Each structure stands twice: as structure tokens, then as C-alpha cells.
Structure 1
Amino acid sequence: MYSFSIFLTAATLASAQSKGFNYGNLFTNGAPKQQADFENEFNLAKNLPNAPGFNSARLFTMIQGGTPNTPISAIQAALNTDTQLLLGLWASAGPESFNNELAALSAAVQQYGTAFTDKVVGISVGSEDLYRNSPTGIAAKSGPGANPQDLVNYIGQVRNLIAGNALNGKPVGHVDTWNDYVNGSNSAVIANIDFLGVDAYPYYESSKSNAIDNSHQLFEDAFNAVKGVAQGKPVWITETGWPVSGPQSGAAVANVDNAKRYWDETACSLFGNTNFWYFTVQDAVPGTPSPSFGIVGSGGGAPLFDLSCPA
């Protein structure tokens, strides 16, 4: 057994219920996904051969692509496929955009009722907003982010909204890169959330010795660093993975064999131990991004590697 498990707290174990993938609301060509597209993806995840049983979807936005604030059609797709949801509200496009996220969230509760809210395992306010607002994110030209006080304000707005509807009591958190959580200037965000969603990719840690041989240790180091600043709150893994193709990043080589090894050593050690959303089931439709993290290729079909875990 990998040593990761010894760092789990009772609070984390109590919430260990979700295994899933991340799902954007657009295809790689920018076209919005529709309900049937989400259903296809959710069913693909649920029926992966030799997989440990994926039952959850992490969303980045509440808004259906191509609309101002219509609730995302992934909700109906989740109801039709019995899929849990980690909701996401995009928080890096300013107050007016966030108001649209709130409007979509409120409308979704009114439209779908408890059939929807019973599927919700948590609500994430933002995704890597602190990273994009950091010197590293700015240097990488990752787009606009949000500062800690913006996020605290948005988190309060979400809490106020759900206090009066069927989402009341659902944990409200934030998703960001591990190193931005350990930055003390962002501690106000941690103080105002119920869970910390962590994105950790050894592949991208090119300033370290990040060959596949060291990947699991780098992941554990990142996880434990966040646990150290989490103020006793649960830490969920919201993104991690290893690319099946793409450029070399430091000592990290993107290929199917290394993706399989990362799956065996890191992903498999997380299943059943914490809420966990892998990146990703399929990211290559209709064009293949670089790097590509999808465990299923653009043509669908069988996974690119065996998803069974070591004994």
C-alpha cells in the first residue's frame, strides 16, 4: 500500500464517496457541449472496463455554453445517468460574470429541485483563480484570475444563496493549485471554505526532478503540504493525471506507459481514500490537445491503457 493513506484524516475519510473525472462545457474546438454529449461522457466513464467505478463529475461552470446564464445541461445528463456532481462556479471573469453563475445555480435548483441537489457532493467557488493571479500564472499567460478577497466575497455570496434553498448544508470550497494554497497570502480563502480542492500535476513541476520515477513522491509532497495549511478541513483531489501524449516537461515524458504507471501508483492509491476527480476521461474531441491527458482517445473505444489497479 502506498504511504499516501497514512496522511488521511477522519474528516477526509468521512467524505470519501466520489470517484470521477473533470468535464468542461466546451469541446476542444470551442463548440458548446449539449446534454447528449454530457450523457455520452458520463456513460463512458461509468462503463470503463476494469475501472474502479466512476460515479461523479466535476464541473467548472454552472452555465450552459453559448448562453448568458442558462443552467448547464450536464445537470440533466447527471440525473439521467445517476452521476454525482461537484459543482463549479467560474470566478475569474469579474463580478458580472459571477452574478450569471449565481443566477444559473439558483435557476438549476428551481428547475430540477431535490433530484438535482441530492446529487451534489459539493460546490466549488472558482478554479485555479489564485494560480492565474500569481506571478507564475501571469508569466505562463494563463489568463485573468482573482485575488483572495474577491474569492472570499464570492464564497459569501454562494453561502447566502444556498441558505434559502435545497443546497443548504452542502460543503462550499475552492479549487486551486497546491502551491497557491501554501502561499500564506491566500490564507483568507482557506479560512472561509469547507473543503480544499487541490490540483497537483508532477508532470508540470519542471523545476524539480519530475521524471515518472519521482512522480508519486512529488504528488505526496504536494498533498501533505496542503494538509499542513488546511486548518483541519478536508482536502479533496480535484485534478491530477499524467499525459498520454505531448511535449516533455522537464524530466517528465508524456506517453501511455508513463500514464499507466502514474495511474497505478498515484490514482489507485487515492480511490476510496478521498473524494477524487481524475483529469481526464477524454480530452481529444474533436482535436487532440497537447499535452493530452485523456485516457480514451478521440475515436472513443477502449481506454489507452489498462485501468485495473495493482493488487
Structure 2
Amino acid sequence: MQIQALAITLGVLAALSAAEAIQGFNYGSTNSDGSCRKYGDFKQLFERAKNLPRASGFTAARLYTSIQCGTSADPIEAYQAAIDTDTKILVGLWTSAGRYVFENELNALITAAKTLGTAFTDRVVGISVGSEDLYRSTPQGIANDAGPGCTAGEIQSYIGWMRDWIKGTLLEGKLITHVDTWTAWVLPENSELIQAIDFLGHNSFPYFEDARANAIEKAADNFWSAVAATESVAQGKDVWIIETGWPDTGPVRRDAVPSLDSAKTYWNTIGCSLFGKRGTFWYTLVDGATTEADLSFAITPNLNATPKFDLTCH
């Protein structure tokens, strides 16, 4: 048992040390028209990410669910696409739809590990239990009509459940995280959840932060102050940047104006300071289904692999 525990500890440390090289995009389970993303969709997008002109190293994918859209518990087809494109995966398990759906998430993940084997599990860089559930449970999230969320206690119970289920499988020893907004991480009631995970997944979008001056000229200061706030409560654990970006189209939010110039500026000042230095998943390569049809964070159009702006880091 001591040897097994040591092996798992060494594996976790190795994964943490490799985090600096992890770089990718976020991928939802649906296309912009609301249709389910299939194997071919994911494969095409993963290949596009790896072959972006003037940008390299985008070899990882962050997913929000392990369930293939349109099914109850079939593994998401992105897993096979990741194998076939040699793409690393930050697994996502959706937690805001109740225990029954979370059980389906676990079933889908365990099935993938059993049927796809090490070709899948060797590419898993971590497992995220939930995404912005804490934020959606806060007064701010409720006021913004962000949808159902979970408390820290509920997320902790899901993590314990998952750890039991993956024990003895090829997924045992994988890094466990939760992804949320910096405004949720700093709340004292969430400190016990931080103790239960291996690293923190940090989301921050200066564009949306209209409670303070948020013009593109303020974006770098706002972003890094948000990261510092998360790090201040991280209990010495790593903080990975899981979602950030700036839209090229959409409504004006206080001082924040969507434009191609602003999206490029944000990429240059924020993205280029992160890539290759900290675990980072940019938001986003292409738009998925969104409640705001005129809001776009995509760096490439859905049907065109040509970036909307020059991705060269200066």
C-alpha cells in the first residue's frame, strides 16, 4: 500500500510539474446552432487548434461534460477524437443538474477509461468536478440569472464520490480540480473545497466585470489582480487559468467595448504572458451554443480555420 501511495504521489507531482506546458481551448458539447458536437466535429477542431498559423502549442482540450450530447451516459466522442489527434484532456463532469446526472457523468467517464484504456487515460491531465457552480449559487450569480449551481459542500461530496469510483482504475491518481470564478474562490465558505482539490481552476473575464472600470486598457490590471486574489486563498496550490478571453462582437459592458482590435490586444497582453508558462485554456477557439447570439469570443469563425486576427505573440 505504501508503494502504491508513493507511486500515486509521484504521479501527481509529475502532473503538476508538467502543468506549465499545458495549453489549449475550451470546447462545449454543442455547436453554435445547438446541434450536438460529434466525433468529426471534435477531431476537426482539435486539428485546427494544433495547426493555427503563427500560434503553436495548443495541444489540450478542456471539456465541460463527459457525456455525449443527446445520450444519458455515453462517453463524449471528444475522447476518441483526442486520442486520434494526440490531444491532452482536462475532463469535465457537470455537477449542477443533480445527483442522478452526476452519476451518469461518472458512468460515462468510467466507461471511457475501461473501453479506451491508456490511450485515453494517459492523455488526461486532470478531472474538473463542476464549472462555476459556486458562482451561480452566490447572490451575484442569482442576480445575473446564471442558472442552477452547487454549494462547496455539494461539490466536495461529488469529489468524494468520484474518488471512490475511480479507485483501482486507470484514472486513480489523476489531478482533481474545480473550476470557478475568482469572486467565488475568495469567499471564506469555499475554503474547505480548496483543501479537497489538487489545484484551482480560475475563470476571469475583465470584459464582464462592470462593477469597476473595465476598458481594454484596464484589462491586464483587472486580470492579474483577479489571479492574485485566487492565489491568496489557494493554500499554496497551483492556479490554472481555465477560461479567459475578450469578445470581438457583443454588447458594450460599461467601459468594455468588443472589437477585433481589443480581442487582439487581450490576446497579446494576457494570452502571450500565459502561454507556455502556466496551465491555460483560452476561451475560445470557436463559438458554441450561446444565449447571446451576437456575443463572440471565438478566435476563428465556425466554418473557417483562418484566425480573425494575427496570433503572433510580440
Instruction: Give me the TM-score of the superposition, normalised by structure 1.
Output: 0.94
The verdict on how the C-alpha distance between 1:301 and 1:115 changes in structure 2, with shifts beyond 3 A counting, is closer
**Who is 2:49 aligned against?**
45
Shifted more, 102-111 versus 278-287: the winner is 278-287
Are 2:177 and 2:199, in contact at CA under 8 Å, matched by a contact in 1?
A: yes
The verdict on how the C-alpha distance between 1:167 and 1:13 changes in structure 2, with shifts beyond 3 A counting, is closer
Letter in 1 for 2:71: T
**Who is 2:37 aligned against?**
33
Are 1:29 and 1:287, in contact at CA under 8 Å, matched by a contact in 2?
A: no
Q: 1:191 aligns with which of 192, 195, 204?
A: 195
Q: 2:43, 2:289 → 1: CA distance?
A: 15
Q: 2:244, 2:17 → 1: CA distance?
A: 19
Shifted more, 276-285 versus 262-271: the winner is 276-285
Aligned 1:101-116 pairs, distance under 5 A: 101-116=105-120
Letter in 2 for 1:176: D
Letter in 1 for 2:147: G
The verdict on how the C-alpha distance between 1:204 and 1:15 changes in structure 2, with shifts beyond 3 A counting, is same
Q: 1:81, 1:14 → 2: CA distance?
A: 20
Letter in 2 for 1:162: I
Q: 2:292, 2:306 → 1: CA distance?
A: 17
Give the Å deviation of 1:301: 3.2
Aligned 1:28-177 pairs, distance under 5 A: 28-177=32-181
Q: Secondary structure at the match of 1:306?
A: coil
Structure 2 gaps of 5+ residues are 1-14
Are 2:34 and 2:288, in contact at CA under 8 Å, matched by a contact in 1?
A: no
Are 1:285 and 1:298, in contact at CA under 8 Å, matched by a contact in 2?
A: no
Structure 1 gaps of 5+ residues are 1-10
The verdict on how the C-alpha distance between 1:201 and 1:285 changes in structure 2, with shifts beyond 3 A counting, is closer
Q: 1:35, 1:107 → 2: CA distance?
A: 17
Q: 2:287, 2:278 → 1: CA distance?
A: 24
Give the Å deviation of 1:287: 11
The answer to whether 1:18 aligns with 2:27 is: no
Q: 1:68, 1:284 → 2: CA distance?
A: 20
**Who is 1:4 aligned against?**
none
Q: Secondary structure at the match of 1:238?
A: strand
Give the Å deviation of 1:147: 0.8
Q: 2:244, 2:184 → 1: CA distance?
A: 16
The verdict on how the C-alpha distance between 1:301 and 1:286 changes in structure 2, with shifts beyond 3 A counting, is farther
The verdict on how the C-alpha distance between 1:181 and 1:284 changes in structure 2, with shifts beyond 3 A counting, is closer
Q: Could you list the per-position Cα deviations for residues 164-184 of structure 1 after superposition, in whole angstroms to 9, with x for gaps in the alignment?
A: 101111100100001100011
**Who is 2:228 aligned against?**
224
Give the Å deviation of 1:288: 8.1
Shifted more, 279-288 versus 85-94: the winner is 279-288
Give the Å deviation of 1:273: 1.3
Q: 2:109, 2:224 → 1: CA distance?
A: 34
The verdict on how the C-alpha distance between 1:106 and 1:301 changes in structure 2, with shifts beyond 3 A counting, is closer
Letter in 2 for 1:15: A
Q: 1:304, 1:241 → 2: CA distance?
A: 14
Letter in 2 for 1:34: K
Q: Secondary structure at the match of 1:196?
A: strand
Q: 1:38, 1:194 → 2: CA distance?
A: 28
Q: 1:185, 1:301 → 2: CA distance?
A: 43
Q: Could you list the per-position Cα deviations for residues 183-236 of structure 1 after superposition, in whole angstroms to 9, with x for gaps in the alignment?
A: 111112111000100001000001111000010110000001100000011100
The verdict on how the C-alpha distance between 1:16 and 1:136 changes in structure 2, with shifts beyond 3 A counting, is same
Are 2:64 and 2:131, in contact at CA under 8 Å, matched by a contact in 1?
A: yes
Number of aligned positions between the proteins:
301
The verdict on how the C-alpha distance between 1:76 and 1:34 changes in structure 2, with shifts beyond 3 A counting, is same
Shifted more, 46-55 versus 257-266: the winner is 46-55
The verdict on how the C-alpha distance between 1:225 and 1:285 changes in structure 2, with shifts beyond 3 A counting, is closer
Are 1:48 and 1:303, in contact at CA under 8 Å, matched by a contact in 2?
A: yes
